[in-house]
Amino acid sequence: MQSRGHEFSPESFDTTFRGRDWLSDRVMRTSLRGPVLETLRQTAIHLFPPARHRYRALLTRNLAMIESICEITGGTHFLDGSKDAVRLRYLLESAFPDARVIFLLRDGRGQACSYMRHYNVPMKIAAKEWVHTQLECRRVLAAIPESQCLRVIYEDLCRDPERIMGEIYDFLGLDSQLGSLTYSAKDHHILGNSMRLREIKGVRQDERWRKDLNREDLAAFEAIAGDHNRSLGYHQSEWGNCSESQAHDWAGDNQGNVRNASSQ
């Protein structure tokens, strides 16, 4: 990084698109909106000097980071697993217009359950966050050619990892023989989740939501995010600890509260 003109510290990568002042930060980090508002965002970034300078500096720094990692590891492809739709939009528009996007889909109840566990929040908040993230993903994917996006079903990946990974390698133009289903079999670079340092003995589907989510949790999810979950192909035929009729009863009893929560 220093050879490319950037100071670097493992404690602070400084690659997240954030402004250094309140206004720049608000403009750069606001959630993805429709085409008109996104055009206004780009206009604001380019017209407001602090935001413009910070935006360009972050693009340059991200590019230097990617080049440095590929150089050290001898890699030709860089996988960005940040899962940030705004970041993806910036990189596609300014640095990597031909980037390939892997959109991993999972039953929203499983993702919401994980969010509840990680952030210690109720289902109303987790379900709203899940819907918000899915809408952001849809907006950014709508702006790129279908040939640049591969939709991967989490449950399919867990059931048949060898086949799905083969499809991913083909999509990326990589030799599948160079990969491995044993996560610990390869060296890992400085970036990534701490799980990369643990021993993992195969791919296993996480379905803890089926036992961890109670009647109220499942019903709240259905009221807030059920329609969106079904649009992705996940039908409510299996309700874990809650029947479908119970869920709709709960939704009716809490209609006002749910409407307020989903519109925030």
Cα–Cα distances in Å, from 76 out to 144, 167, 227, 254? 22, 19, 40, 52
Residue 128: what pLDDT?
97
Q: Yes or no: say if 115 and 132 are a contact pair by the CB < 8 Å rule.
A: no
Crossing angle (nearest 10°) for helices 108-119 and 215-231: 130
Residue 264: what pLDDT?
41
Largest CA distance in the chain: 63
Angle at alpha carbon of residue 238, lines to 233 and 243, rounded to 5°:
130
Find all residues with CB under 8 Å of 195, minimum gap 6, and list them.
none
Is residue 138 packed enough to be buried (19+ CB in 10 Å), middle (13-18) or exposed (0-12)? middle
Count other Cβ atoms within 10 Å, centred on residue 163: 11
Give the separation between CA 109 and CA 200, rounded to whole angstroms: 24
Dihedral sign (CA 193, 194, 199, 202): negative
- Spans of all domains in the chain: 1-99, 103-161+205-264
Beta strands in the chain (DSSP E): 101-105, 149-153
In 3D space, the residue among 218, 235, 261 whose CA is nearest the CA of residue 109 turns out to be 218
In 3D space, the residue among 72, 65, 75 whose CA is nearest the CA of residue 179 turns out to be 75
Residue 259: what pLDDT?
41
Residue 135: what pLDDT?
93
Backbone dihedral region for residue 211 (phi beyond 0: left; psi -120 to 50: alpha; all else: beta): alpha
Give the separation between CA 254 and CA 252, rounded to whole angstroms: 5
Residue 238: what pLDDT?
54
Give the separation between CA 127 and CA 248, rounded to whole angstroms: 16
Residue 7: what pLDDT?
87
Mean pLDDT of successive 10-residue stretches along the chain, which has 264 residues: 85 89 93 87 94 95 92 88 89 91 95 97 97 93 93 94 92 82 59 62 86 95 96 72 48 46 42
